[in-house]
Chains A and B, each alone.
Chain A
């Protein structure tokens, strides 16, 4: 039963991810006085891409062709670990939050290699920048995560969430710092403004788009889907860890439906916040990003230290 729900949850994750991207775009368009595309546009784009014949460079090796599948599978696996509508699912135990970060690293490793495979300057540029900034973002993310896992004394995401639910609404300085750090990292890792802009192809600033410039057809569809999934994953992580209320603790149909409703509304609100911030903030210069990520790292560290000094003091 619990495995069934876990699979159902993973499927929900995968299918809802484009909807979140559509909703985000819709909010942004309305905030910027533009005419918004339909909420289902990301689905249409994905379907269109899967029906197209992919064009691959003559220089490409097997790695370039396999990479989208590997990247997508790694992100799907990472998603299956994160509790979406219910806690106490077995998938959270197969891999904890450190493994989840490992899946992200896995996906990034292959995407960066695929960027280098063709031998164009753009691909190399994207890979170099992606690896640089992610190697700064990853420790910041782990710092934030460690703060939570030290408070709950576990790295199992499901148990962390259950712990926060159990504690009720307590204002902890460490959680506030961790939340801020995770928000900053999430923006950087999902390639949103001010770190990267997924909707432009300007060589001075692009990071993620430069790596995948050579992809087309179903390969591009997989990568786009994976990045939408990653956006949703970070959203769920923030929503469910810091505001877990509403998530199902039992496996009754009612609780699950309630959990689904809760996470959809939480994500909708988060997307609005992201849309507002993307509208208000301008894109950063490339060599300001390390300061931004350094700040996130510092916040994570402060969270950890405040947990150790203020909350766990004996």
Chain B
């Protein structure tokens, strides 16, 4: 039953993709319908409905809605299947006779897949509510819906199939389906050269990553008989070969997940895709990469080494800090969110690294705690990053603007969007009572247990990374204060922002509202989520987090109640009491109601929106403090005039901030590849006789090898 639900999720998403191809087939459908109706003929009512929906103007709307409804149902199926397997803690296996005759697809659906099914399901559900309103804005001639719908369906189906795969063959096919489908989604608005470039970069890195994954599986397969994960699990590898496989897998999955320094495709590709697709890519596809890494390292590869944990810890720390520092400097809202995904993936990698370190040092309970914290953060990130991307989509839809320096004052024009976006910002800044805080709290609790380790270097390394995590969290709060403050508060900075209105299509608010509600509910009742995650930890590590049940369900006590506890519900009650008492006490006298007046302008005359802090002004102190973290090109030019050329007529300010990775890592690689290509070019003489000579030489060489 559970497996049928999982399959139907895949099939429904495929069906939604295929259905969207019908956009251009209205006439065929019309003929079919009239043919069909001739046979039925009796039911006048039914006939009316069919022809009504096939009307020239209504048909695209009807089709869009049906496509998204199918996608939504697929999401619901995925949630149900995931929850069923998480609660029952069973493992379902199956074989499908697809693919090559002697290589059937092996399917396995266990708790780990179930969790990620739930993540995808929630995201897809929210997107399907949001989508119909969002895609209305696209011109059919330029950006056909058929393309968007088809590849969205394939993309979702690919992600779900990756989670179901139980052999390397099926895994790679599903992985490629996901990668290639998302490439077309990134390239959807291909009339813009920058988008084409971003899409190509994405495809290139996705394929390099896929190669690394294939090689990683290849290393394992050479020690095993067969490509099924069961066979790969049995493989006996020496530590060196296992480490090689780990490094390859880390490269492949890390490239998809977007850890520094192989994150460069992410801030290019995510902003140019349509917003609901960026939400899926950032919120969900990165999680699928994470799933791959967890499945490969903890499950298939088996015995993890603590050195791998150190690698993950260091890479994660660098990604977290680098991601948020780069995010801080962005003015494009979606680019900023993409960089912030790098940060969050970094945090997850850090905690996963801790899990490996504890696991190899004989501390399975602490490893389970770390593992749980990582999964919890992955889940939370999927929720709030989806929410924020969908929010950014609404803003883009209503203001046609993504530059946060051109916005402002939207809280009055779009109050509901503002509230939803605020919840997202609070969650991602890990403020108490919201979900982001719970997972960071768990991460801190894990890091504080470093005392139990014997290795002195590890014991001092882990607290240092915890300190970096604290810095990351604080910088994230600063970053999202900037985002919310500049976009929604203050005076409108442009005409578009001034004329913005709340979205008409209610689904565009309901989708994000569900995510926002989940962010808050999980922040207040983390115990439910911990219970579900425990079944994953149980199936992967064979160990659950010992949430101190003596303290009751209200409390979160990961190690023991004496060591640390957190009761978000009581905190919420306390906050409500404190807030209500002060509010009631101070507002009881109607005579002292608020008086509104002009803003104080220091007596200089009217304030304009140009006098407000901009993005670059807001981050100036940080830019100065962490100056080494970016390549900053700041230029101030003054136009001079007057008799002695001493009066300043105008000042031009230019600020260009770049990632360190481009000049340090990618440009050398690029020039090396070019140089190599030139060398190879030498043997291409263009003369057919030479080429025949090459063939002959190769043939001789082969014969010699064979004999």
Binding site for B on A (CB under 8 A): 50-63, 65, 69-70, 72-74, 76-77, 80, 93-96, 98-99, 102-103, 105-106, 108-109, 112-113, 115-121, 123-125, 127-129, 131-136, 138-139, 142-143, 146, 149-150, 153-156, 159, 213-214, 217-218, 221-222, 286-287, 290, 297, 300-301, 304-305, 308-309, 312-314
Check A99–B429 contact: CB distance below 8 A.
no
Using known A-B contacts A217-B592, A309-B456, determine if residue A116 contacts B582 with beta carbons closer than 8 Å: no
Chain B 581-600 against A: per-residue CB contact (8 Å), 1 yes, 0 no?
01100100001111111111
Whole-angstrom CA separation of A125 from B614 in the bound complex? 10
Check B444–A98 contact: CB distance below 8 A.
yes
Check A80–B574 contact: CB distance below 8 A.
yes
Q: Who on chain A is nearest to B459 by CB?
A: A308
Using known A-B contacts A128-B618, A222-B582, determine if residue A120 contacts B460 with beta carbons closer than 8 Å: no
Q: Is B485 an interface residue (CB 8 A)?
A: yes
Chain A residues lying within 8 Å of B563, measured Cβ to Cβ, are 153-156, 159
Whole-angstrom CA separation of A50 from B486 in the bound complex? 31
Tell me the chain B residues, 625-658 only, with Cβ under 8 Å from chain A. Answer: 625
Using known A-B contacts A73-B582, A99-B566, determine if residue A54 contacts B595 with beta carbons closer than 8 Å: yes
Using known A-B contacts A95-B567, A129-B621, determine if residue A119 contacts B583 with beta carbons closer than 8 Å: no
Q: Who on chain A is nearest to B431 by CB?
A: A106
17 contacts between A and B (CB under 8 A): A53-B593, A54-B592, A93-B561, A93-B565, A109-B429, A112-B485, A116-B481, A116-B613, A119-B408, A138-B473, A142-B466, A142-B470, A146-B466, A155-B563, A156-B562, A290-B625, A301-B464
Chain B 431-473 against A: per-residue CB contact (8 Å), 1 yes, 0 no?
1110001000100110010110010100110011011101101
Check B617–A128 contact: CB distance below 8 A.
yes
Check A154–B490 contact: CB distance below 8 A.
no
Whole-angstrom CA separation of A224 from B607 in the bound complex? 27
Q: Which of A94, A105, A304 has a CB less than 8 Å from the CB of B566?
A: A94
Interface size classification for chain B: 35 or more
Using known A-B contacts A59-B599, A116-B490, A124-B617, determine if residue A153 contacts B451 with beta carbons closer than 8 Å: yes
Check B489–A117 contact: CB distance below 8 A.
yes
Q: Is B474 an interface residue (CB 8 A)?
A: yes
Whole-angstrom CA separation of A96 from B607 in the bound complex? 44
Check A109–B596 contact: CB distance below 8 A.
no
Q: Is B38 an interface residue (CB 8 A)?
A: no
Check B437–A56 contact: CB distance below 8 A.
no
Check B477–A116 contact: CB distance below 8 A.
no
Whole-angstrom CA separation of A58 from B15 in the bound complex? 52
Chain A residues lying within 8 Å of B429, measured Cβ to Cβ, are 105, 109
Whole-angstrom CA separation of A52 from B450 in the bound complex? 53
Using known A-B contacts A76-B578, A102-B432, determine if residue A54 contacts B594 with beta carbons closer than 8 Å: yes
Check B431–A53 contact: CB distance below 8 A.
no
Whole-angstrom CA separation of A123 from B489 in the bound complex? 11
Chain B residues lying within 8 Å of A138, measured Cβ to Cβ, are 470-471, 473-474
Report how many A-B pairs have Cβ atoms within 8 Å. 261
Using known A-B contacts A143-B467, A314-B454, determine if residue A112 contacts B481 with beta carbons closer than 8 Å: yes
Chain A residues lying within 8 Å of B147, measured Cβ to Cβ, are none
Check A94–B567 contact: CB distance below 8 A.
yes
Chain B residues lying within 8 Å of A132, measured Cβ to Cβ, are 478, 621-622, 625
Check B456–A308 contact: CB distance below 8 A.
yes
Whole-angstrom CA separation of A222 from B477 in the bound complex? 23
Q: Which of A95, A99, A135, A290 has a CB less than 8 Å from the CB of B478?
A: A135
Check B485–A120 contact: CB distance below 8 A.
no
Tell me the chain B residues, 463-516 only, with Cβ under 8 Å from chain A. Answer: 463-464, 466-468, 470-471, 473-475, 477-478, 481-482, 484-486, 489-491
Tell me the chain B residues, 559-574 only, with Cβ under 8 Å from chain A. Answer: 561-567, 570-571, 574
Whole-angstrom CA separation of A308 from B462 in the bound complex? 11
A176 to chain B, nearest CB (A): 18
Check B598–A57 contact: CB distance below 8 A.
yes
Check B597–A56 contact: CB distance below 8 A.
yes
Q: Who on chain B is nearest to A225 by CB?
A: B582
Q: Who on chain A is nearest to B601 by CB?
A: A120
Check A57–B596 contact: CB distance below 8 A.
yes
Q: Is B619 an interface residue (CB 8 A)?
A: yes
Whole-angstrom CA separation of A150 from B624 in the bound complex? 34
Check B613–A218 contact: CB distance below 8 A.
no
A15 to chain B, nearest CB (A): 14
Q: Which of B432, B475, B582, B594 has a CB less than 8 Å from the CB of A103?
A: B432
Whole-angstrom CA separation of A260 from B566 in the bound complex? 27
Q: Is B544 an interface residue (CB 8 A)?
A: no
B534 to chain A, nearest CB (A): 21
Using known A-B contacts A56-B596, A58-B599, A155-B445, determine if residue A105 contacts B567 with beta carbons closer than 8 Å: no
Whole-angstrom CA separation of A53 from B595 in the bound complex? 7
Chain B residues lying within 8 Å of A287, measured Cβ to Cβ, are 621, 624-625
Using known A-B contacts A58-B596, A159-B562, A287-B624, determine if residue A99 contacts B578 with beta carbons closer than 8 Å: no
Q: Is B409 an interface residue (CB 8 A)?
A: yes
Check B597–A58 contact: CB distance below 8 A.
yes
B373 to chain A, nearest CB (A): 13
Whole-angstrom CA separation of A154 from B625 in the bound complex? 33
Q: Which of A118, A305, A313 has a CB less than 8 Å from the CB of B599?
A: A118
Using known A-B contacts A52-B592, A117-B490, A218-B586, determine if residue A61 contacts B567 with beta carbons closer than 8 Å: no
Check A70–B611 contact: CB distance below 8 A.
no
Check B566–A139 contact: CB distance below 8 A.
no
Chain B residues lying within 8 Å of A128, measured Cβ to Cβ, are 613, 617-621
Chain A residues lying within 8 Å of B586, measured Cβ to Cβ, are 50, 218, 221-222
Chain B residues lying within 8 Å of A308, measured Cβ to Cβ, are 450-451, 456, 459-460, 463
Using known A-B contacts A112-B485, A119-B607, A217-B592, determine if residue A124 contacts B612 with beta carbons closer than 8 Å: yes
Whole-angstrom CA separation of A132 from B621 in the bound complex? 7
A128-B620, A138-B474 given; 6 more Cβ-contact pairs under 8 Å? A96-B564, A102-B431, A109-B477, A119-B609, A150-B448, A213-B600
Whole-angstrom CA separation of A314 from B468 in the bound complex? 26
Q: Who on chain B is nearest to A61 by CB?
A: B411
Chain A residues lying within 8 Å of B620, measured Cβ to Cβ, are 128
Check B481–A134 contact: CB distance below 8 A.
no
Chain B residues lying within 8 Å of A113, measured Cβ to Cβ, are 481, 484-485, 489
A14 to chain B, nearest CB (A): 9
Whole-angstrom CA separation of A309 from B463 in the bound complex? 12
Q: Who on chain B is nearest to A290 by CB?
A: B625
Whole-angstrom CA separation of A194 from B580 in the bound complex? 36
Chain A residues lying within 8 Å of B412, measured Cβ to Cβ, are 61
Q: Is B189 an interface residue (CB 8 A)?
A: no
Check A95–B566 contact: CB distance below 8 A.
yes
Q: Who on chain A is nearest to B618 by CB?
A: A128
Chain B residues lying within 8 Å of A69, measured Cβ to Cβ, are 579, 582-583
Closest 4 CB pairs of A and B: A124-B613, A116-B485, A119-B490, A135-B474
A44 to chain B, nearest CB (A): 17
Check A156–B612 contact: CB distance below 8 A.
no
Using known A-B contacts A56-B596, A73-B582, determine if residue A124 contacts B618 with beta carbons closer than 8 Å: yes
B395 to chain A, nearest CB (A): 16
Using known A-B contacts A52-B592, A93-B561, determine if residue A73 contacts B575 with beta carbons closer than 8 Å: yes
Q: Which of B426, B451, B467, B607 has a CB less than 8 Å from the CB of A139?
A: B467
Chain A residues lying within 8 Å of B551, measured Cβ to Cβ, are 93
Q: Who on chain A is nearest to B480 by CB?
A: A109
Check A99–B574 contact: CB distance below 8 A.
no
Check A121–B613 contact: CB distance below 8 A.
yes
Q: Is B430 an interface residue (CB 8 A)?
A: yes
Chain B residues lying within 8 Å of A95, measured Cβ to Cβ, are 432, 566-567, 571
Most buried by A among B464, B470, B591: B470
Check B596–A312 contact: CB distance below 8 A.
no
B410 to chain A, nearest CB (A): 10
Using known A-B contacts A125-B613, A132-B478, A139-B467, determine if residue A94 contacts B574 with beta carbons closer than 8 Å: yes
Q: Who on chain B is nearest to A116 by CB?
A: B485
Q: Which of B437, B444, B486, B565 has a CB less than 8 Å from the CB of A116?
A: B486
B283 to chain A, nearest CB (A): 23
